[in-house]
Structure 1
């Protein structure tokens, strides 16, 4: 095992940390209570690190030096950062990459001292990115790791990594003493716990030792070291330990802008909300903020430059999400009433997770079939909102959705059906959903976004059949565009490439790829590279389809 980082070690570290985060994701989600108790910190860290891992494994990622590997991983994390914790993790990676790209004295970076300085720059960069740093969080865990690394003598990189991990563990145990909301919940900070997993993977990569067992979700009764006094943040907890009301929306977007414009943007967003984190540089930035006025946050980005990959999540709905199963089991005691909610019908856990992360109430349709009228009616009423937007995500479900909407209206619920024909159209509609807008305006915007999204799919034929592209045999790979078979192929990658090219022939600004668990390794990276080579100005966003998803879903907006 290398005692310091090299390109192969960076890739191994990233993969190892991602695997560990995926194993601990649910546990980390469970203890997520700060800054918003929306139960997604583990998921956001996984999504962010998965983007870094994909970037490192892309065919065009020729990382000959550790500096190139760190820069590639950091750029992937910047593009794929999700949530408050994911954005901070991406900035930590960027901070380390800065040191490896420009070591003092020049030359190829190596040695334990470089790792020490990388960890220090990572912690400093994370503090700089957060508008109002709060102690007892992922930030203080990162700083403690850097402090412990700096105090470790010698040129053994593995020893430095182990010290950083141990320093992070001590700081994590101290977080309940620094944040009252953690103490009351009896948990450690979720983001800090996720960072400890990443540092544990770093130590294991450099030492060859098996990582320590996962940290318990509940902290010890009395930490060995007293915590540093926490400054009073302007947002989040007050001096008396109570929290101010959380804003309604999480807004994230990538932004093309210069540094002066971003400086002005920080001031504008800081006046709109809290949990402001802005990372990036060299013209590309990732912006994260919690606000009550999502439209104003996006407009501030437009004033600063070109925002894209805009994601708006209704935070108020996150803790109270209700999921309808194959039977109408959500018709009991309704949750506290909300003004507006979105009900989305999906197949597969991966797509369900994506829609839930966007704030939707999900109806999981059985494999090979759709939801019935009773199930949809129960889901609409069970959301506990006065206004509902219903996304059937299947042309065959549209009539059923309309009938369910009519039944729900007799109970005083205002319901509109957006005629989404595929899951990627539903994702596009959710991306522009704005509960703060007037109901009719929101429905029009969602309908427009769905209608502007062409959809495709790559699937495997189960049996011999006639198709619009000819006769297929069982095991053939089918490429569908707008529901019709356009390509019959013999491998997923080639068929996916053909489908994507056909869909982009009519133009587009954004490609959405939902990659299933059984897709070939590197498929998303190859398709992203195809878009970059042949279609300038087109952005690509990749989601993991996870269990129940087919090889590939494609959306082109």
Structure 2
């Protein structure tokens, strides 16, 4: 029998862990709203998704601060400490324990040349399950704690599989355990939902599958389940909270001895519930603890911490005030317009083209800042705004801008377009008479279906998928991959078009930049007429300074 390929822990590329952290952030960001909507235990404050995202983002940021040559133990420890120090809410603290478990496993296994990636994952989940269970004063079945334990048990049973198969079976069993949470906790069954924290943990296990296999797991949308003969488990007015506490208190505690932490837990249990205390497990400067409690006596909770060590990053939130803020309606005048599309462009010709197509244009010839984009969105004075940054702004900044500008009177949706040709394809199907969701979906579908490429001048010598290029060579890119290297623009252009039409196409759109040679567009036209009769060519003089030309195929 052939033994599955199981790479030793020492040979596991730390970049895989960094990629996993980034994939977790992306997944939690995408599903934040869904997870928030599932949040009914211990308090229905609709913040589990947001808290897990904030915590995981801190871990991913910490991983990126480690040196490129840092080993696996250093990277995983940085993630764990970053998560513990920045954990938000009960769910964020428990998430931090998953990362602490993996870091602890890496510390132990990295010195053993015979240990494997599978042992790292299995041991990490086992330690995470134990640490998370110890962190919670009154653990309940049917929460994320139960689901982490199932994942750990599954990993232990399948440690002999290949890494990809191990990741898949753990993710699938996690999903099965998530489905069972309403059967295990009455509060979830009453509300008709699965556990929010467990749904967030499933994002983490699915992200690892995606990193190891390149194929993301597809899960149903967890909108809730039906109980009691097909009737919703609770009415809109029915309370589903299991806590009578009004405040959430969190702080970081330094300089506390182990026995002091035990007495702190006892004291917090006396004045509140949902008590979670975890340490960052680092040993050089003494252990730092992240403390969480729901209470009606926030002052006493803080005093209990002060009596046992040095406090920092104290956060107190009132559930009632948070709910009032969520329900507060903007008293300003309603938007004057129903719908708008904001398009970020480069070049004078592009600005005219997209304005004629009905977009509110933002010029990014000299760069684009979040404030510039935010001002453009506000200037539309519209109730529903679709934003296409076309690669001019990083995804985190784009998400931050659109999230900040959403309000009860304005929805903002960003489409992940990376080129002006994709944006043009989306604008072609824009229909203001459709519902906002249907219109945005159609635009996103059109943009995703538009293959795009570009020509650029190499400014450095480098190795590409098409071979080594020299400074001044003409590069043909499809997406961000260099697939053509040539000496002349016309040669690179025809080769790029051939690659893009290899899988078919009915129309080619060319956005000519300021530095494109006069005969290059004519060569493309002649090449299409000769080699691809019936394929339509549309050419626009957009005048961008970066790409010589952008090409779209539909």
Q: Distance in 1 between matches of 2:367 and 2:215?
A: 43
CA shift for structure 1 position 12: 0.6
Counterparts of 2:14 and 2:210 in 1: how far apart (Å)?
A: 16
Q: 1:310-363 CA deviation, whole Å, 9 max, x = no partner? A: 00010233344322325279xxxxxxxxxxxxxxxxxxxxxxxxxxxxxxxxxx
The SS at the match of 1:304 is coil
Structure with max Cα Rg = 2
The separation in 2 between residues aligned to 1:262 and 1:545, in whole angstroms, is 40
Alignment: residue pair count:
334
Please state whether the residue corresponding to 2:146 is helix, strand or coil.
helix
1:85 positional shift? 0.5
**Does structure 2 conserve the Cα–Cα contact (< 8 Å) formed by 1:78 and 1:90?**
yes
Aligned pairs for 1:54-453 (under 5 A) are 54-58=61-65, 60-62=66-68, 64-103=70-109, 106-107=112-113, 110-219=116-225, 244-257=242-255, 258-280=257-279, 281=281, 282=283, 283-321=287-325, 322-327=327-332
In 2: Cα distance, 1:2 partner to 1:522 partner: 34
Distance (Å, rounded) in 2 between the aligned partners of 1:169 and 1:150? 17
1:353-404: CA deviations, max 9, x gaps? Answer: xxxxxxxxxxxxxxxxxxxxxxxxxxxxxxxxxxxxxxxxxxxxxxxxxxxx
Preserved contact between residue 122 and residue 159 of structure 2 (Cα < 8 Å): no
1:113 offset after TM fit, Å? 2.1
Preserved CA contact (<8 Å) 1:111 1:155 = no
The equivalent residue for 2:38 is: 31
SS across alignment from 2:252: strand
Task: Judge conservation of contact 1:147–1:167 (CA < 8 Å) in 2.
Answer: no
Structure 2: gaps (5+ residues):
229-238, 335-362, 370-390, 406-554
Give the stretch that moved more between structures: 250-259 or 319-328.
319-328
Aligned residue number for residue 544 of structure 2: none
RMSD, aligned CA: 3.5
Deviation at 1:255, TM superposition (A): 1.0
Quick check: 2:368–2:393 contact (8 Å CA) kept in 1? no
Structure 1 unaligned runs (5+)?
223-240, 330-461, 463-473, 478-516, 524-542, 550-557
Counterpart CA distance in 2 for 1:154 and 1:136 is: 28
Mark the CA change 1:146 to 1:66 in structure 2 (over 3 Å): closer, same or farther: same
Between the aligned partners of 1:203 and 1:95, the Cα distance in structure 2 is 19
3-state SS of paired residue (1:102): helix
Residue 195 of structure 1 and its aligned partner are, at CA, apart by 0.5
Local SS of the residue matching 2:277: strand
| Structure 2: distance between partners of 1:196 and 1:44 | 15
Cα distance in 1, alignment partners of residues 278 and 401 from structure 2 = 27
Distance 1:30 1:298, change over 3 A: same
Task: Confirm or deny: 8 A CA contact 2:72 2:106 kept in the other structure.
Answer: yes
Query: TM-score normalised to the size of structure 2?
Result: 0.55
SS at match of 2:109: coil
TM value normalised by structure 1: 0.54
Q: Please give the alpha-carbon distance, in whole angstroms, between the structure 2 residues aligned to 1:15 and 1:315.
A: 31
